[in-house]
Homo-oligomer: A and B are copies of this chain.
């Protein structure tokens, strides 16, 4: 198909597709004349993946490039792919908490990892994110929110078991690799959206019931 049809079918504007081509996120089409290229279903699939990563999972373009390289690699082990994707989607760490809070947070994270017997590299980017987030919560006087930490940790262990079961329902190694990468990133988007809905449900039941019933009976929908 020509770029115009690729744009129509993907819902992505032609200039944006050209940007992805220039940035190397989308492989070039097959040249059918000096000024015209032809694209196929693989390009459409790749475009949808790029948009899911940038728009839904909010991965920056530099991270998207790394994720796509991981998907395209023929030689990378699954363990290496997981590690590389984790680094690509982890926030770059800038230090904003106070030093005291960070020392306490690092101890807390080390103890948590030992308690759960997690075999993780000491320089895993997620450790940095975890330490800094806990340190910031302490610095902001929100220590009481950290009471949820062990329950979060228990739940994510179960997530991982389920995710492994889902991924290994496939047999082709390439398909497994693609599922691991996409599942790691978009699984987080699913969890995050579900968590907001569970919070809204809780808030509506505990705090907003009256307002909502009134709005309902007026036949309007909440917008603001």
Contacts and interface: CB of A to CB of B under 8 A. Distances in A.
A162 B147 contact: yes
Contacts of A29: none
Interface in A93-134: 93-97, 113, 116, 118-127, 129-130, 132-134
* Overall SS of chain A's interface: helix
- Stoichiometry, as copies per complex, reads 2
A147 B166 contact: yes
A92 B54 CA distance: 11
A195 B199 contact: no
Contacts of A212: 119, 121
Interface in A157-178: 157-167, 169-170, 178
Contact of A52 (B140, B152, B187, B198): B140
A193 interface: yes
A1 interface: no
A48 interface: yes
Nearest to A207: B79
A188 B116 CA distance: 20
Interface in A201-221: 201-208, 211-212, 221
B199 A163 contact: yes
Contacts of A4: none
A55 interface: yes
Interface in A174-196: 178-179, 182-184, 186-196
A84 B199 CA distance: 13
Given A48-B140, A137-B186, A222-B83, A167 B145 contact: yes
Contacts of A186: 133, 136-137, 142, 145
Interface of A: 10-12, 45, 47-49, 51-52, 55-56, 58, 77-80, 82-84, 86, 90-97, 113, 116, 118-127, 129-130, 132-134, 136-137, 139-140, 142, 144-145, 147-149, 151-153, 155-167, 169-170, 178-179, 182-184, 186-208, 211-212, 221-224
